[in-house]
Structure 1
Amino acid sequence: MTATDALIAAAEAHSAHNYHPLPVVVATADGAWMTDVEGRRYLDLLAGYSALNFGHGNRRLVEAAKAQLDRVTLTSRAFYHDRFAAFCTELADLCGMETVLPMNTGVEAVETAVKTARKWGYRVKGVPAEMAKVVVAGGNFHGRTTTVISFSTDPEARADFGPYTPGFEIVPYGDPTAMRSALTENTVAVLLEPIQGESGVIVPPAGYLPEVRRLTRERNVLFVADEIQSGLGRTGRTFACEHEGVVPDMYVLGKALGGGIVPVSAVVSSEEVLGVFRPGEHGSTFGGNPLACAVALEVLAMLRTGEYQERSALLGERLHGELSALSGGGRVTAVRGRGLWAGVDIAPAYGTGREVSERLLERRVLVKDTHGHTIRIAPPLVISEEDLDWGLAQLREVLSA
């Protein structure tokens, strides 16, 4: 039995089977490459579902974390610490907003956004008690807590976890007419991914996000953009909403905000919206901790250079050009995405998404499947042109076999 086999067997024997990982055991990583326990190198074209936008072991981020580890890592929110004000100020400024509510994981931030919208609806909009509604889109993925799966349309995420949290209405993604019909006097928010990641990197029709923005303003409804996967450089802009010239009322951020080092998430909005909270009404022991703030501050400094957004845009053109050529040969039925982010639908004759992912693994390329025949490609934004070309060449070879 190899070291890989032994470690996978031990993991399967002693961990819950809530994931179906590819059979690789990573030991070290650097930039866009990971090395397994037996010394084999793999090109990472997933980047931790966008948590690793700046690559594995990014020196700036690692040094920021190391420096903070020697100072203080946790105070809880019972006290201030010396990195908190800078983090909130810099993140609010990057978003063009006023106020930050830090949490840890992405789904915590989504839960926070839902609670914020409801409280704003009752205290500011004047919605009758217990009547607040949040409109969401079919095909969404906002996390897996009980409340969040209550408005999922994915049977795998939702089945057998009821009873479910009420207060949500699901409409088709990309359909402004359905959105218009769903908004009522009791609607407090529309919660959307500007690009749906887990569904296969689904980009809405041009004009959809601006129309949602217009409708929400007209009806006094908060527009909440879940940019946990799509934000912070992934699509060639800081936020995916920017491609349509849209500024939401609230950003929900996570993943890349922690640089792939620590979990960092946040809700960012106006003082009017986040000002509805009073002490004791919401919180997190680890939310906004000193270590998280130190790493996130370095992430924000890197984003301000514009370098990573520009790399994503330029290399994204290369990525989508190569993928479009594949679709011309009948091996790929559809390609979607923006920047260094793509959903690739594999023609059934060439295998399922899982099978293609496994064949790429044999060629030392790591991607992940979703929804049957789709693979997602989202390399670290630091990937070189040569490495990207090599990874795409392996995909061509797999689909030609």
Structure 2
Amino acid sequence: MTEFTYRLAQKRNIVTALPGPRSVELAARRKGAVAAGVGSSVPVYAADADGGVIVDIDGNSLIDLGSGIAVTGVGASNAAVAAAVAEQAAHFTHTCFMVTPYEGYVAVAERLNAMTPGDHEKRTVLFNSGAEAVENAIKVARLATGKTAVVAFDHAYHGRTNLTMALTAKSMPYKSNFGPFAPEIYRMPTSYPFRDAAGLTGEQAAKTVITQIEKQIGADTVAAVIIEPIQGEGGFVVPAAGFLPTLVDWCKANNVVFIADEVQTGFARTGAWFASDDEGIVPDIITMAKGIAGGMPLAAITGRADLLDSVHAGGLGGTYGGNPVACAAALATLDTMVELDLPARAREIEAIVKPRLQALADETGVIGDVRGRGAMLAIELVTPGTTDPDAAITKAVAAEAFKQGVVLLTCGTHGNVVRLLPPLVISDELLDEALTVIEQAVRTLSA
């Protein structure tokens, strides 16, 4: 594996009960200050983080298998990113690119134009969050095509704003009682190999979608099809081979903008720069965020020049979009990813993790599916001998892992998927230790 330099000791070290006394105290303060609608996966509060560890305010060192939801691929305090942030902040933290522009924004756009799939002419716009990127991709598609309907998919997650809630499939906690939602959003079935009919190919699944679109909506009214190449919150669902290329071909033939939501899958996470690369597809527009800037808030859409340049001046932008400090962080993050060859590291992580998860599935019977790509991996937990989702054991596995000092996230439409999103710079030793904790938790809870 690539040699990484760490600032903090890369070890699990639990010195108090979890949560510790200082975290308990801070939780009480939080209750009186922070809205109850903001949840947290674990009840400890971070004081430091580096590489594959998070150190809480009580001095406990936990193994991080969440990466802030696929954000800190280069680590949570990468030295190059921290230095770039400090240097830029010393000059100016903000001018607003729409008022007084600066080179960092242009440089990030150039990098994204060059690294995203396809050799066509591209343009980029920068924003603050994945949801903003998705909203603006839809804006561009509607204006450029003169059409209004947007197709999204079962198990999709695209954000928490009004439009992106409409695109998101899961009601609780993301949509429940927050409507009415933006109109002209249509939902189609996706390819979910673990739950699809036996023998259903990706091409067949896509043709079913296409038939429904043409019958229920009409191709002449569809502005965009938006999909995550590997679904994130919906359960790390990897579509069957042929599903996405068939949809892309249909979109090209019908003047429909194909939008790949790569907010979670992008930037080396799946073992390629983008999951679209593995699928052999070239989207019209890609939405990006999360891993783009080493933890600083930044998002982007990159797409065909003719699409993005069709928008009138002033039609895209935002006060903080492409903030100069975030742009500096992004350039340092991308340089680090190239220097360390983090796509290759993600593939190394897959080679370490997947066989152990599959062996655990074969041993215990409660894991119905092991899936994912690169360092975006998951197990789907079920009642043994069935495909019935078991959300209770999933929640218990994550809770037990936390008790042992491993931060582990869950997901899935049915709440029955454990997802692994380690920092791409995690050490083999730390990864092995975390897997041992997970294995013990699953064995104990399935006995």
Query: What TM-score results when the alignment is normalised by the length of structure 1?
Result: 0.94
* Aligned counterpart for 2:206 among listed residues 176, 199, 210: 176
Is residue 212 from structure 1 mapped to residue 280 from structure 2 by the alignment?
A: no
Give the equivalent residue in structure 2 for 1:110. Answer: 134
Offset of residue 254 of structure 1: 0.3
Post-superposition Cα deviations, 1:115-145, rounded to whole Å, max 9, x if no partner, equal: 11111112xxxx4xxxx11111111000010
Assess if the C-alpha contact under 8 Å between 2:74 and 2:337 holds in 1: no
Give the equivalent residue in structure 2 for 1:93. Answer: 114
Is residue 389 from structure 1 mapped to residue 419 from structure 2 by the alignment?
A: no
Between 297-306 and 181-190, report the one with greater CA deviation: 297-306
Give the equivalent residue in structure 2 for 1:72. Answer: 92
State the alpha-carbon separation in 2 of the partners of residues 328 and 257 from structure 1: 36
State the alpha-carbon separation in 1 of the partners of residues 109 and 294 from structure 2: 17
Where 1:78 maps in the other structure, the secondary structure is coil
Post-superposition Cα deviations, 1:300-325, rounded to whole Å, max 9, x if no partner, equal: 22334471000001111111111111
Post-superposition Cα deviations, 1:135-170, rounded to whole Å, max 9, x if no partner, equal: 111110000101111233212122211122111111
Assess if the C-alpha contact under 8 Å between 1:353 and 1:368 holds in 2: no
Letter in 2 for 1:335: V
Assess if the C-alpha contact under 8 Å between 1:224 and 1:248 holds in 2: yes
Letter in 1 for 2:283: P
Is residue 138 from structure 1 mapped to residue 154 from structure 2 by the alignment?
A: yes
Offset of residue 299 of structure 1: 2.0
Where 1:177 maps in the other structure, the secondary structure is helix
Is residue 364 from structure 1 mapped to residue 405 from structure 2 by the alignment?
A: yes
Letter in 1 for 2:114: D
- Where do 1:2-401 residues align within 5 Å? 2-18=21-37, 19-76=39-96, 77-95=98-116, 96=118, 97-122=121-146, 127=147, 132-156=148-172, 157-174=174-191, 175-181=205-211, 182-183=213-214, 184-260=219-295, 262-305=296-339, 307-329=341-363, 330-348=365-383, 351-370=392-411, 371-401=414-444
State the alpha-carbon separation in 2 of the partners of residues 41 and 299 from structure 1: 24
State the alpha-carbon separation in 2 of the partners of residues 303 and 372 from structure 1: 32
Where 1:150 maps in the other structure, the secondary structure is helix
Letter in 1 for 2:144: W
Assess if the C-alpha contact under 8 Å between 1:91 and 1:300 holds in 2: no
Letter in 1 for 2:65: L
Assess if the C-alpha contact under 8 Å between 1:45 and 1:380 holds in 2: yes
State the alpha-carbon separation in 2 of the partners of residues 12 and 204 from structure 1: 41
Query: What TM-score results when the alignment is normalised by the length of structure 2?
Result: 0.85
Where 1:83 maps in the other structure, the secondary structure is helix
Post-superposition Cα deviations, 1:268-306, rounded to whole Å, max 9, x if no partner, equal: 012100012222223211111211111111222233447
Offset of residue 94 of structure 1: 1.2
Where 1:233 maps in the other structure, the secondary structure is coil
Assess if the C-alpha contact under 8 Å between 1:190 and 1:221 holds in 2: yes
CA RMSD of aligned residues (A): 1.6
Letter in 1 for 2:29: A
State the alpha-carbon separation in 2 of the partners of residues 221 and 163 from structure 1: 26
Post-superposition Cα deviations, 1:67-112, rounded to whole Å, max 9, x if no partner, equal: 1111111111211113222121122111145210110111000001
Offset of residue 34 of structure 1: 0.5
Offset of residue 24 of structure 1: 1.6
Offset of residue 40 of structure 1: 0.8
State the alpha-carbon separation in 2 of the partners of residues 303 and 3 from structure 1: 35
Offset of residue 347 of structure 1: 4.1
Number of matched pairs? 392
Give the equivalent residue in structure 1 for 2:387. Answer: none
Assess if the C-alpha contact under 8 Å between 1:352 and 1:374 holds in 2: no
Letter in 2 for 1:372: G
State the alpha-carbon separation in 2 of the partners of residues 21 and 12 from structure 1: 15
Offset of residue 233 of structure 1: 0.4
Assess if the C-alpha contact under 8 Å between 1:171 and 1:178 holds in 2: no
Offset of residue 199 of structure 1: 1.0
Assess if the C-alpha contact under 8 Å between 1:352 and 1:372 holds in 2: no
State the alpha-carbon separation in 2 of the partners of residues 185 and 59 from structure 1: 51
Offset of residue 352 of structure 1: 2.7
Where 1:185 maps in the other structure, the secondary structure is helix
State the alpha-carbon separation in 2 of the partners of residues 214 and 102 from structure 1: 28
Percent identical: 31
Letter in 1 for 2:424: L
Offset of residue 200 of structure 1: 1.2
